[in-house]
Amino acid sequence: MNIDLAVILCLADEKKNQPFDDYAAGIAGCMLEKSPEEKAFLQRYDIHYYIAVNPEESSIARVVDADYTDDMVKGKSFGVVFNRDMLARLEHEDSLAFVLGHELSHIMWRKGFPRIRDLAADEEAACDCSSVRLMHAGGYNLLDVAAVDALYPDKIPGMRERIAKRESFLIENGIFPGKRLGMSLLLRKETFAGLQKEPWKRKSIFETGKEPDAVRIAEELRDIFERGDRTEFKRELDAFLDGKTTEEASKIILNVLGRVVTEFPPITETLARDDSRRKFYNHPVSVMSDIVWRQFRREGKKLLPPEDLRIVSRYMQDNRAYFEQRDRKFWEPLQRAMAPEAQVKSNISGRI
C-alpha cells in the first residue's frame, strides 16, 4: 500500500486529522462557492484532506485514490494529502488555497471536466490556471501563490514554463493580482503543525519469535479489514507458509479460512457495494486469494481438515459470483484439491 494511504487510514482511524480536514474543506468551500460548475462537478466525489508526515517527500501535496483502484477514472473517493513539513513553510491560508485548488483541479482533469481541459494541454499548467481561477473567485490573494513557487527550486523541470503559462492566463483573463485590496489570511498551523504521526506501518506478527497460529492470523486479517495495509502481511504469510510442508501449509490456510469466512460480511456483498472497494480489497477472502493460489500450486500432499472444509465449501457455494468469476484463477488450485477430498470425506465421519 502506498504510504499516504497508510497515514490516511491511521489518522482517520484516530480522528486526529479531523480539524485539518474541516479547515481545508472550508477553504475549498469558499473557493467553490463562486464557481458553481466546478462545485457541482466535484460534489460527485467524496474528498477529504489529510496531513502526512513524510520528510523524504519534496512535493507539497498529492491526490490519492482512496478507493484503491489503479485507475483514477473509476474512483469516487479521494484523499488530498498535504506534506506537513512543506505546508508549515507557508505563512498564508491563501497559499494553501492555491495548492488545494491545484489538487482539486487534478481530480477534475482526470475525471474529464471540460472547463479545465480547455485551459492548457499540459495537466500541471492547466491545474495551476484552474487553481488561480478558483482562488480569484473565492477572494483569495493571488500574490501568495509566489510563496508556493518559492518552495521549489528553479531547477525543477518545466517550472518556469508553468509559471509563465499561469501568468499569461491571468493577463488574458484580466485578472491582476496586485489590484486586489485586502489582507491575506494567516495559515492556521495549529490544525496540523503539532501532528507527530509517523507514516503508519503494520507490525509484523511473524517476527515475534513465536509462530502465529490460525487464531492469530485470523485476528490480523480482521485488523487489515478494519485498518488496511495488507501488502507486507501477505508477503510474510507466504514466506511463513513456504517454510512449512504442503500438508502443514494447507491445513493452516483451511483453519484460517474456516475461521474468517463466517465472521465477515460475505465477499459477494462487499464486492457489489459501490462504496466499499477498500473493504473489498482488504476482505480476508480477497487478502487470502493469491496466497491460496501460490500455496495450493505447490507439489505435495494437502491436508484439509473436514470441519473447515465443510465451512469453506459452503461459503464458496454461497458466494459463487466471486469464486467462479472475479478471482477464479486464484481459487482453482484449492477447489481442485477440495474435490477428491470432499468425496472421500463424505464417507468418513469428521476425523482429523
Residues within the interface to Zn ion (CB under 5 A):
124
| Per-state percent for the chain, helix, strand, coil, to nearest 5 | 60, 5, 35
Element (H, E) at 61: strand 61-65
Min CB(62)–Zn ion separation in Å? 8
Element (H, E) at 280: helix 277-281
| Residue with smaller CB distance to Zn ion, 124 or 149 | 124
| Residue with smaller CB distance to Zn ion, 156 or 344 | 156
Min CB(311)–Zn ion separation in Å? 49
Alpha-carbon span 14 to 287, nearest angstrom: 24
How many Å is the Cα radius of gyration of the chain?
26
Alpha-carbon span 35 to 290, nearest angstrom: 46
Min CB(61)–Zn ion separation in Å? 8
CA 280 to chain centre: 12
Q: What is the DSSP letter of 324?
A: I
| Residue with smaller CB distance to Zn ion, 148 or 292 | 148
Min CB(162)–Zn ion separation in Å? 9
Alpha-carbon span 288 to 265, nearest angstrom: 15
**Closest-approach residue to Zn ion (CB):** 124
| Residue with smaller CB distance to Zn ion, 102 or 136 | 102
Min CB(16)–Zn ion separation in Å? 26
| Residue with smaller CB distance to Zn ion, 66 or 127 | 127
**Cell 479545465 -> residue:** 116
